[in-house]
Each structure stands twice: as structure tokens, then as C-alpha cells.
Amino acid sequence: MITETLALGSCWALLIASSACLGVYRSLIDRIRSGLSPAPSDEHTRVAKVITKALSLPNHERPFHFEAAFLSSLQILSGFFLLKIWMPITSLYWALFLLSILVERISTWLYPRRISQSKALDSHLKIGLLPVLFFTLVCKPIVILLSLLEHLFLSSKQKKILEEEEDNEVADHIRIIGREGTNLDPDVLEIMGNTLEMSQLKIKDVMIPRNQVQILDFNDSFEKNLEIAKSCGHTRLPLCDDDLDRCLGIIHVKYAFRKLNDRSNSFDLRKITKAPALLSKEEPLPVALKRMMKLKVHMALVRDEFGGIDGVITLEDILEEVVGEIQDEFDADEKPIEKISENKWRVSGMVPVHDLPEEIKHFEQEDDMATVGGIVTGELGRIPETGEIHSLNGMKIKILEADDTRLLSLEIEFQEMEKDTTSEETI
């Protein structure tokens, strides 16, 4: 009995220590991916190589995930048999067994999290390297087998969903870390999460649809275009030959204003245009952001699969997905989405459909109309006037503000579908 006790006790203690070592590596990798800890600077060391290799794996493959589960199972089993040698299965036995599970949780979760934030991290990484490599080698055949089985049984659609959810998993992890306590500001953590989630969005999700784009017409007089530039409040506008599909370039309004002192009535606006950048509406937002920064443009045209222009996108549209609504001194001081009562919301026409509360997310989103105002305008076939009331998919929609080019704000009230809509125009 003594021999068995010593053997099982030693095994249990070694498993606890190994779990703690592996947990430190896992916790550090999570912190690096969340941006809370720096990646290894010296990649020539053995420890750095192990961490770098783990970081290169896709998020859904969770580095050391199977190894940790394997160690935890062995630790619990060894604790079970160790106690069984000492005493019969009674209430005291189960109490001690639960205590051993608590020890397992401390060694695999609480202790590693504390160590990964301490100054003693480097020492623990060096000490834990050997057991980490050993159990990685032992578990490798099983990990490969499970990976093959996963690819075998998952359909192509499920694999695609898994890849799309990858960034969300990391984003959620960042927010969890924030709630559990870090020195980082909650707003910073929120921005980090938004940045990762942005990778799932495409240009078509945040662009301004063409029916809401204010343009300057090359065929109009300089004075008329200048008046449009003054009234719209935008800093950049497309200069077009009658239509957005025939865009001649992008004009910065300040350059047009500088020509006010020009006495010549024949001033050609094309002289102050910048060649428009063309982006596909299917491009992911991070790709669009990099391209626009590389080209040093603040506004780009968005083309469809046939080469036509679907709308425009600005750097502000992209950045708002990260930091939230950006308002300048000319914007109205109001929230883009505001709940008025239990079933009623005030919504900006420029709000993307994916940002709406679930209670009123009943719009059938089309590829070329990602905003609430764009969808309502498209369904009506015209730009509605202020004060109009319509019904759509169980929602009562009241137009609060609209101009000649777009729907600015509306009131949405959720209601059950009613057959009697004689007093309202039905979309």
C-alpha cells in the first residue's frame, strides 16, 4: 500500500506541476494574442521558438488545448485512485476528491494567470519548457488524428464558418480579460475587440450607397457646385460627368473655396481633382483600410462585379467600426441609435443594418444598400419626404428628416403585422 501510495502521490504531484507549466504557456499565448503582453523579441531561444510556433497556429486550433485536457484528466484520475487507497468511499472521500479537483483548477488556471503577469514569468517559462515539450510529443499522434477526423467530418460550409468565427473568439477573449481585471482601460479593450471583429465586415457593409452620395456635376457652373459644397458639409466630394459611374476625380472642398478669389468664370474643377481609388465591395475592411492608407486617399469609389459604381467609402466609415461614431463640430449632437420607448427607436439613416438592435433588425438587406436609409429609399423607389409614414415587415417607419439626396433620420416602431394599413403607404 505504501509503495502504491508513493507512486500515485508522486505521479499526482508531477501532473500538477506539469499542468501548471503548460498553463503558464497557454496563458501567455492568450495575452500575446490579446495584445496585453509582447511577443518574444529573441526568437533564437528555445522558449521563444515554442511560443512563436504556437502563435502561428489558427485561433480555433487552440495551442496546447488537447495537452491541457489530457493532463487535467490524468491528474483527476490519479487523485481518485490515490484517495481510494487511503480510505473507503464515504462522504469524507468525496470531500477530499472535490478538494483535489480544486487543486487541479488552481494549477491549470489561477496559478498560470497570475504567473503570466508577474516578473518571474521568464524563469517559469524556462523551468516549464521540458514538461511542455514532453507532453506535446506524447500527445502529437492523437492531436494529428483528431485534426484529420475534424476535417473529415466538417463540411466546407462548417469550415468556412469556423474560420469566420476565429476573430470573434479572440475579440470575446479580450473583453473577458478586461472584465476579469487588467490595467488596461475598458475603452481600449473595447476598441481592440472591435478591431478584430472588423475583419468580418466587407466594404459593402459600411459604404455609402450611390443614391445617398452627394456629387458635383462637371456640367454645372462653378458657382452652383460651390454652393452644393457649402451646403452638404462634406470635406471631399466626387466630381462626375452627370453620373457617379463617370467620376472624374475627388475634390477636396477647401481647394474649391480657394478659387473664390479667382475672377475667371471658366475655372475647370478637374484641375483640383485627385484620381479616384477603386475598391471592390467584397473586399474586407482591413484590406480596404490598408489600400486607402497606402494610396493616401480619404475617399474611394466602390465598384460592383460588373464594373459599375455602387457607392463610396471613406476612412471615417471604416474607423467608426473601431472607435464608434465620429462626430465633428458640424454634426448634430445626437446618438445614431436612440431608444425612445419600449418598442420605439430613433435611428440615423446612415446606420448600417448590422448595428441595429435585434428587436428592429427586420430589414431584408441587399448588397448595394447596407444602411437603413438606403434600404427604405430603395424599397420606396424614391427619397421620402419628412413626415411620411410607412409600414415594413411589422415595423412602423416615420421619416423624421430627409433632404434631396438621402434619408437622414427616421423613427422605427416595432409592431405586429396589421392588415389594416389604409392610412399608411405600405412598402
Contact 291, 277 (CB under 8 A): yes
The residue-averaged pLDDT of 170-184 equals 50
Angle (CA) 100-103-107 rounded to 5° is: 145
Do 132 and 58 belong together in one domain? yes
Question: Of 153, 185, 212, which residue sits at a domain end?
Answer: 153
pTM (whole model) above 0.85: no
Mean pLDDT, residues 390-416 taken together: 81
pLDDT in tens, 32-88: 766 667 777 666 688 888 888 887 776 556 678 888 888 888 888 887 777 777 767
Q: Give pLDDT, residue 69.
A: 85
Residue 44 sits in the same domain as residue 131: yes
Asked if residues 203 and 290 have their Cβ atoms less than 8 Å apart, the reply is no
Evaluate if residue 16 carries a pLDDT over 60.
Answer: yes
Q: Is 344 helix (H, G, I), strand (E, B) or coil?
A: strand
Phi, psi (rounded to 5 degrees) for 98: -65, -35
130/186 same-domain check:
no
Burial label, 153 (beta-carbon count in 10 A; 0-12, 13-18, 19+): exposed
Predicted confidence at residue 425, as pLDDT, reads 46
Mean pLDDT on 250-256: 80
Cα–chain center distance at 329:
28
Domain total in the chain: 4
Instruction: State yes or no: pLDDT of 1 exceeds 50.
Output: yes
- Of 268, 297, 323, the residue at which a domain comes to its end is 323
Structural domain includes residue 399: yes
Lowest mean pLDDT among 26-35, 131-140, 270-279, 399-408: 26-35
Q: Which residues of 223-250 are buried (b: 16+ CB within 10 A; e: fewer)?
A: eebbebbeeeeebbbbbbeeebeebbbb
Domain enclosing residue 358, as ranges: 337-426
* For residue 198, pLDDT beyond 80: no
Lowest-pLDDT choice from 40-44, 88-92, 219-223, 296-300: 40-44
Q: Are residues 148 and 183 in the same domain?
A: no
Tell me the three cell numbers of residue 309.
Answer: 459604381
Top-confidence residue, 411 or 188 = 411
The model's pLDDT over 122-149, given as tens digits with 9 standing for 90+, comes to 888 888 888 888 888 888 888 888 878 8
Residues 106, 27 share a domain: yes
Q: Which of 144, 175, 200 is the last residue of a domain?
A: 200
Residue 332 domain-assigned (yes or no): no
The reply to whether 329 falls in a domain is: no
The whole-chain average pLDDT of the chain stands at 75
CB burial readout 10-33, b (16+ within 10 A) else e: ebbeebbebbbbbbbbbbbbbbbb
The phi-psi region of residue 410 (left if phi > 0; otherwise alpha if psi is between -120 and 50; otherwise beta) is beta
Quick one: 249 and 127 in the same domain? no
The number of residues in the chain equals 427
Residues 6 and 149 in one domain: yes
The answer on 182 and 223 residing in a single domain is no
Can you give the pLDDT at residue 163? 55
- 186 and 132 co-located in one domain: no
What's the CA gap between 7 and 5, in Å, rounded?
A: 5
Nearest to 203 by CA among 39, 46, 315, 52: 315
Domain of 254: which CATH number? 3.10.580.10
Give CA angle at 142 (139, 143), nearest 5°.
80
Both 254 and 343 in one domain: the answer is no
Residues 7 and 143 in one domain: yes
Q: Answer yes or no: is pLDDT of 259 > 70.
A: no
| Pair (191, 218) in one structural domain | no
Residue pLDDT, tens place only, 302-313 = 988 777 888 899
DSSP-derived secondary structure letter, 423:
T
Angle between helices 65-86 and 121-153 in degrees, nearest 10: 100
Rounded mean pLDDT, 178-202: 59
CA distance 166 to 48: 24
Q: State how far the Cα of 408 lies from the Cα of 427, in Å rounded to an integer.
A: 18
Which carries the bigger pLDDT value, residue 14 or residue 419?
A: 14
Give the containing element (helix H, strand E) for 232: helix 222-232
pLDDT value of residue 192 = 55
- Which residues lie closer than 8 Å to 297 by C-beta, 6 or more apart? 250, 274, 276, 277
Whether 231 is in a domain gets the answer yes
| Residue 103 domain-assigned (yes or no) | yes
Q: Is residue 328 a part of any domain in this protein?
A: no
CA distance 96 to 165: 40
